[in-house]
Structure formats: C-alpha cells, structure tokens
A and B are shown apart, each in its own frame.
Chain A
Amino acid sequence: KNEVEQSPQNLTAQEGEFITINCSYSVGISALHWLQQHPGGGIVSLFMLSSGKKKHGRLIATINIQEKHSSLHITASHPRDSAVYICAVGTSGSRLTFGEGTQLTVNP
C-alpha cells in the first residue's frame, strides 16, 4: 500500500462543475502539499497546509489530521484547470512523499 493515495486517478468534468480530488496518507506528517502539473510539465505549488482549510481563488484545500485525509476542491471549473494534481506529504525533515497524481480534464 502506498503511503500516499489519491483518488480518482482520472477525472473528466464539464466546464462549470464542482470538482473534488481526494488524498489519503498513512504516515505522520508535518504538512501536506497540493501541486499542479500542466501538460507542458511545469510544477506549481498550490497549497501547503497542516490543519484546517485554505482558499485561493476557485481552489480550496482541506485537511483532517485525525482521519489522515485531504481534499482539493475546484469551484466553477474551467478548461484551463486541466492538469495533473499531485498530493505530497512532508514527513521527516523536508522529505516529500508523492501520490501518483490525478489527471483532470475539463471539457468546454
């Protein structure tokens, strides 16, 4: 069993839909990261959180430490949100362990 598991692996949505991507982890963490990787390959850090909820524009990230679970929500999705979304957990020191990613496609 991977230390970090994401679901779903692939997600197709229509423009405007509300999207949720889930991440579960099995180890103690210092922080959880959500990353976005566009088709060109560049990786952007969306959120780093250790408790509660963070919001940036149409993106919302939540974490439940007791349940070892995090969700990334996208409201009013748009085709430009199409990307791979990667969950990563920070464990000892600065080490990050990554999930396999969720491929999101938003159709116009």
Chain B
Amino acid sequence: DAGVIQSPRHEVTEMGQEVTLRCKPISGHNSLFWYRQTMMRGLELLIYFNNNVPIDDSGMPEDRFSAKMPNASFSTLKIQPSEPRDSAVYFCASRQTSGRDNEQFFGPGTRLTVL
C-alpha cells in the first residue's frame, strides 16, 4: 500500500485566497484525521471522521475551515478565506478502528504558506 497520500505537498498562496488540501487514506481504514502543526502550538487535532461521518470537529479553528469526506477514499480540508496565521503543516492520518493495535498512520503533510 502507498500509505496515506496528501496533496499538494507544498502550497503558497496569498491572503484571502481559497486553499484546498486533499487526503487519500489507506485502503480499508475507516477513520481519518486532520491535524495542524505549528511552532507555537505543536500538533493539534482539527477534525476526525469515522466511516465518512465527522465525529469531532471541536478543533476546527473557525468558520473559515471546513472538511468533507464524500467517500471512504477521499477527504478535503478547505480554508476560505486564508490568512497568514493559517500557515502551518497540515497532516492527514488514517487508521482501522477494529482490532487491538489500531495505530494511526500519517501522511507526509502539506506545508501551507499564506503570504
């Protein structure tokens, strides 16, 4: 398996523009997580899905952020409009919730820079 796939790997945009980050989880995994990592705050959970349904979005900073999971193999995280303080590395992770050792597998991340 190719692991969790994220695109783009790097994104540079200007303040006010819409940004869409994409994630393809590992096939067969039924939970998907979006994280943000910054120097100031470290790693933070933004939202996670179980079986394509958003379960906990309490980490989503504000209404400018939205996430969707239209099917088991694809999720998006959208920021509209983007602001410089959104600059961070955004990680997607997935896992299989059945079984005992259901560790999370992380994608390579998308480094977002908002100018």
Contact = CB atoms under 8 A, between A and B. Distances in A.
A54 to B, nearest CB: 9
Interface stretch (A62-70, A71-79, A88-96): A88-96
Contacts, number: 50
A97 B33 CA distance: 13
Interface in A47-63: 48
A interface majority secondary structure = strand
Contact size range, B: 20 to 34
Contacts of A99: 42
Interface residues of A, number: 20
Contacts of B56: 92-95
A39 interface: no
Contact of B105 (A45, A86, A96): A45
A101 B106 contact: no
Interface stretch (B15-23, B60-68, B79-87, B96-104): B96-104
Contacts of B50: 94
B5 to A, nearest CB: 13
B101 A48 contact: yes
Nearest to B105: A45
Contact of B45 (A42, A45, A96, A101): A96
Given A93-B56, A94-B31, A100-B42, A45 B89 contact: no
Given A94-B31, A94-B33, A94-B48, A45 B43 contact: no
A100 B41 CA distance: 8
Contact of A33 (B44, B48, B103): B103
